[in-house]
Amino acid sequence: MENKMDIQKILSACDHTLLLQPATWEEIKGICDDAGKYRTASICIPPCYVKRAKEYVGDEVKICTVIGFPNGNMTTASKVFETEDALLNGADEIDMVINIGMLKAKEYDYVLEEIKAVKAACKEHILKVIIETCLLTDEEKIKMCELVTESGADYIKTSTGFSTGGATFDDVALFAAHVGPKVKIKAAGGISSLEDAERFMELGASRLGTSRVVKIVKAMEK
């Protein structure tokens, strides 16, 4: 990191995230405060806190939440309902998990139609599609690049952070080579340094799902 501009560029790409099961409202409030102070792209929080967070931050901070999380093997109807409920509560962006079992079984129409259904529920709101790269072969990752492009979703996202691994440089480079021109990339899970964050952005990620970047910047200020 050469200067503060580099750090702000990274912060402004971060979805400042707290999705752990024991997360309390007091902790979520802290995430909201940090996001406002450090001007992150959004906060990414559990659906049950979206309404309170919206009342707390107003329009100062974008609110992202997760759908079908973290396993993705709910019905399409339940994912659509979760999406509609989250938007009613004030969410600005939606990160959904695909049905990984259906992808493994090559039921591509199911996977595609589900993403399209959630995108339709999102209307003008941003939809990011989590494909859980650590569970997929390269061929499956490339197929998901094609399906996400065809679906009209806004982003392809590497990981939930709740499986066997997170974002890798290779996966982000693979996405960049195979997604359509309108699809952006979110790297998430295990981003543990500013250097890694910068490298993910150089490889093509325009969003980073992380809690650590803000923590690192805060520690640098002490």
Q: Per the structure, how many domains does the chain have?
A: 1
CATH at 180? 3.20.20.70
Range of the domain at 24: 4-221
Question: Which is catalytic among the residues 34, 95, 154, 171?
Answer: 95
Q: What is the 3-state secondary structure (H, E, C) of the chain?
A: CCCHHHHHHHHCCEEEECCCCCCCHHHHHHHHHHHHHHCCCEEEECHHHHHHHHHHHCCCCCEEEEECCCCCCCCHHHHHHHHHHHHHCCCCEEEEECCHHHHHCCCHHHHHHHHHHHHHHHCCCEEEEECCHHHCCHHHHHHHHHHHHHHCCCEEECCCCCCCCCCCHHHHHHHHHHCCCCCEEEEECCCCCHHHHHHHHHHCCCEEEECHHHHHHHHHHC
Tell me whether residue 186 is one of the annotated catalytic residues.
Answer: yes
Question: Which is catalytic among the residues 119, 128, 141, 186?
Answer: 186
Per-residue pLDDT of the chain (222 residues; tens, 9 = 90+): 445 559 999 999 999 999 999 999 999 999 999 999 999 999 999 999 999 999 999 999 999 999 999 999 999 999 999 999 999 999 999 999 999 999 999 999 999 999 999 999 999 999 999 999 999 999 999 999 999 999 999 999 999 999 999 999 999 999 999 999 999 999 999 999 999 999 999 999 999 999 999 999 999 998
Tell me whether residue 85 is one of the annotated catalytic residues.
Answer: no
Tell me whether residue 138 is one of the annotated catalytic residues.
Answer: no
Question: Which is catalytic among the residues 157, 171, 184, 196?
Answer: 157
